[in-house]
Amino acid sequence: MKKLTLLTILFFTYTFIIAQTSEDFTKTGIAKLWQNDLKGAILDFNQAIKLDSTDVTPYNYRGIAKAMLEDYKGAILDFNKSIKLDPSAEVYLNCGNAKYNLEDYKGAILDFNKAIEINPASGPAYFKRGIAKVRLNDYAGAILDYSKAIELDPSAEAYLDRGIAKFNLSDYRGAILDFNKSIELDPNEALGYFNRGNAKFNLSDKEGACLDWSKAGELGEASAYDNIKENCN
């Protein structure tokens, strides 16, 4: 009876394993992804793809897991496969992010363009495209994208980055307005105060600059103290 029981257990275990579907492996892979078991997630997505190579979902999530492991080239291969099967704004955005991390800014912009073409209401796509344009020193283009991102989904980060782009075009007053808004939305972000201090200093508002740098230092921006040491004594 002991042997029969063991064989029965093994049989049902084996039956359960082979009965798992691509969707089952995808679900367990996603669960592992959120638990930060990235390698385990990839193994599950591999099984899902093996069982159904026409489902876009495991390709996209496997790409996300690879990107989180900084395997950006592998991630791009998966995103491209997903796009080939069923183009979506989300996957183009993911692919653009991976290209950005490989410093392929022009390639990233092309993917963000496609994401926007598919979903013109995608605030993150405009925001990410703005960041890529900054890397190419296209500050005016970046400002347009940040402005659209703010229109669709206002955030402290978008105001901060638009302010930095304006700063790089020597629009210090416009930059200060954006830094003000960024600080209003997130008063604990040191970079808002630090960059506003830089803009004020360039407008000869030394006292205001020093106050902002002091606040930035309190919030953890160590380089603010270098500015204070050099300019506020």
Instruction: Report whether 17 contacts 47 (CB < 8 A).
Output: no
Domains of the chain, by residue range, sit at 22-80, 87-132+139-145, 154-233
What residue type is 37 in one-letter code?
D
Going by pLDDT thresholds of 50, 70 and 90, the confidence category of residue 233 is: confident
In this prediction, residue 7 carries a pLDDT of: 41
Instruction: Report whether 47 contacts 25 (CB < 8 A).
Output: yes
Instruction: Report whether 24 contacts 47 (CB < 8 A).
Output: no
In this prediction, residue 2 carries a pLDDT of: 44
Digit-coded pLDDT (tens) for 8-23: 444 444 444 556 899 9
Domains 22-80 and 154-233 share a fold: yes
What is the CATH code for 154-233?
A: 1.25.40.10
In this prediction, residue 13 carries a pLDDT of: 45
Instruction: Report whether 27 contacts 50 (CB < 8 A).
Output: no
Q: What DSSP designation does 88 have?
A: -
Give 141-190 as a DSSP string. Answer: HHHHHHHHHHHHS--HHHHHHHHHHHHHTT-HHHHHHHHHHHHHH-TT-H
Q: Which range among 3-17, 68-82, 191-205 shows the weakest confidence by mean pLDDT?
A: 3-17
In this prediction, residue 61 carries a pLDDT of: 97
Q: What DSSP designation does 53 have?
A: T
Q: Is the per-residue pLDDT at 168 higher than 60?
A: yes
Q: Which CATH superfamily is domain 22-80 in?
A: Tetratricopeptide repeat domain (1.25.40.10)
Q: What is the pTM of this model?
A: 0.88
**Class level of CATH domain 87-132+139-145:** mainly alpha
Going by pLDDT thresholds of 50, 70 and 90, the confidence category of residue 6 is: very low
Going by pLDDT thresholds of 50, 70 and 90, the confidence category of residue 119 is: very high
Average pLDDT, the chain: 93
In this prediction, residue 108 carries a pLDDT of: 98
